[in-house]
Structure formats: C-alpha cells, structure tokens
Amino acid sequence: MKKKLKDTRAKRDRDHVKRRAIGRHGIYLTTKDIASLSLAIQSNKASFVRRISKHLTVWVVKFRSRQLYVYYNTRYHTITTVLPRFCKESLNNREYLTLVEKAAEIRAKHSQQES
C-alpha cells in the first residue's frame, strides 16, 4: 500500500514541477526531462546554491541552454519545484539586496511621477 502512496506523491510532484516550469519559464518539461535534471543533481553536474532545510536544497541546472533554479528534495531524490529567475533563494544576499534597492528606486520614481 505504501508503494501506491509514494507513486501518488511522485506524480503530484512531477505535475507541480511541470506547471511551474511552464508558468515561470515557458518551458514544457516531460517526465524524462525531470528525471534527467534530477540525475544531473545526483551526479553533481549541477551547481549547488544553498540548503533551505534538512531535506530541501537549491540547485542551478542547465536545461536547453537555460539555467533553472530548482528545489531538490534530498529525502525523496526528486525536484520539488522550479523557481522564478529572480527570487531570493536563487540569488546570493548581495544580488538580492541590489534588486530590492532598484525596485524601491523604481517605485519611488513612479510615485513621484503620479504626484
């Protein structure tokens, strides 16, 4: 019975990864593509970014000449989700703070123009 639960979780996770890849990058991933991305992480062909929790890490994986930031579950050895290009987890602190400062400047200019 546990095998069926694991298969259900795995299918749900794959579907989530596919939806996020389409929505965030416009890339259609197949089940084989997701398996090859996981294999790249397992064989250290991807770049480790950071650890989020005990079982969750962020990796940069090359796919069709693009760099995808993904959450990887080390417990189940699966990709959990595909992250947007500019998110806090995918950037180091300095890059993230620079983007936040630029966004604040743009908002300030926009609010001045409205006044």
As a dihedral over the C-alpha atoms of residue 98, residue 102, residue 108, residue 110, rounded to 10 degrees, the angle is -160
Specify the DSSP class assigned to residue 2. H
pLDDT for 43 equals 95
Six-digit token string for 73? 């579950």
Contacts of 74 (CB under 8 A, 6+ apart): 55, 56, 57
Q: Where are the domains of the chain?
A: 2-84, 86-115
Phi-psi region of 64 (alpha: psi -120 to 50; beta: other; left: phi over 0): left
Cα 30–Cα 80–Cα 18 angle in degrees, nearest 5: 30
How far apart (Å, rounded) are the C-alpha atoms in residues 75 and 63?
23
pLDDT for 83 equals 87
Sites in the chain below the pLDDT cut of 70: 1-7, 86-104, 106, 114-115
pLDDT for 51 equals 85
pLDDT for 24 equals 86
pLDDT for 18 equals 92
Tens-digit pLDDT profile for residues 82-115: 988 766 555 555 655 565 666 667 677 777 776 6
Element (H, E) at 11: helix 2-25
